Amino acid sequence: MPNSSNKLVKTAIVVPTYNEAETLPVLIEKVKSQQIEGLGFVIVDDGSPDGTGAIADAIAEKFDGVFIVLHRQNKQGLGTAYRAGFRAALDAGAELIIEMDADLSHPPEILNNLISELENADVAVASRYIYGGGVDPDWSWGRKQISYWGNFGIRLIMGIKVRDATAGFKGFRRKTLEVIGIDGLKLKGFGFQAEMAYRCQQAGMKIVEYPYVFMERTAGKSKMSFGIVIESLLRLTLIRLKRQ
């Protein structure tokens, strides 16, 4: 686990990876070119068979700053990866923690906008569902409907006010993660994103949204599965019903 422990990190970009060998190096370069002050990375790789973990280690060796690579033995889900990544970012002293996917669906070009938003907010959500935001224009009508109504349904079940409740591109002030308590988060898969939105709202955090257009991944494969969707719906409903 290469970690330049004598170096400081202000903004940590946390990226969970499973078989993202093609896109991860491109993402890192694009993020680096945004000239972010005190930039650091936390990559959480789940033993990707395509060697993403080793690629991340090689990038870490050359990176001038904090670049942590967590290697877990097998695929344990997006939610557990983020929990581990957030913990590592907090332990490294990060003031701002930003989560984003490795597949280039999230544009690094708006990272500085999210960072600016965090000057006056506890959570900054990159949003597909506010004015100026959207999804890949090449998506079929059906795919757009599933994404839109899936998000709408989860907002309804959870009573979430933020417009993009399933967003996977967002930033938190350090205090936000400390207040909501990472270790108490329950969802293992993609529903983790909505759980985070809910927990932040329940904790009274100030949440702002910044628009972006989500683009389909151009390489690698989606990890979304029927099981992950079921976990999300059941566990989120339970959390809401129990008002946990």
Which contiguous run of DSSP H or E holds residue 24? helix 24-32
105 interacts with Mg ion by CB under 5 A: yes
Token readout for 131 is 């004015």
Token readout for 83 is 């929990």
Task: Out of 75, 144, 186, 240, point to the residue binding ligand GTP (CB under 6 A).
Answer: 75
Question: How far apart (Å, rounded) are the C-alpha atoms in residues 32 and 34?
Answer: 5
Task: Out of 101, 164, 195, 231, point to the residue binding ligand GTP (CB under 6 A).
Answer: 101
Beta bridge partners of 14: 42, 99
Question: Is-contact 208 116, C-beta < 8 A?
Answer: no
103 interacts with Mg ion by CB under 5 A: yes
Question: How far apart (Å, rounded) are the C-alpha atoms in residues 99 and 83?
Answer: 11
Nearer to ligand GTP, 209 or 231 (CB): 231
Shortest-Cβ-distance residue relative to Mg ion:
103
Q: How many residues bind Mg ion (CB under 5 A)?
A: 3
Q: Which stretch binds Mg ion (CB under 5 A): 36-44, 97-105, 120-128, 233-241?
A: 97-105
Q: Which stretch binds Mg ion (CB under 5 A): 16-24, 54-62, 92-100, 102-110?
A: 102-110
Cα dist. 91→3, 12, 226 in Å?
12, 11, 34
Residues that bind ligand GTP (CB under 6 A): 16-18, 20, 44-46, 75-78, 81, 101-103, 105, 168, 190, 217, 222-224
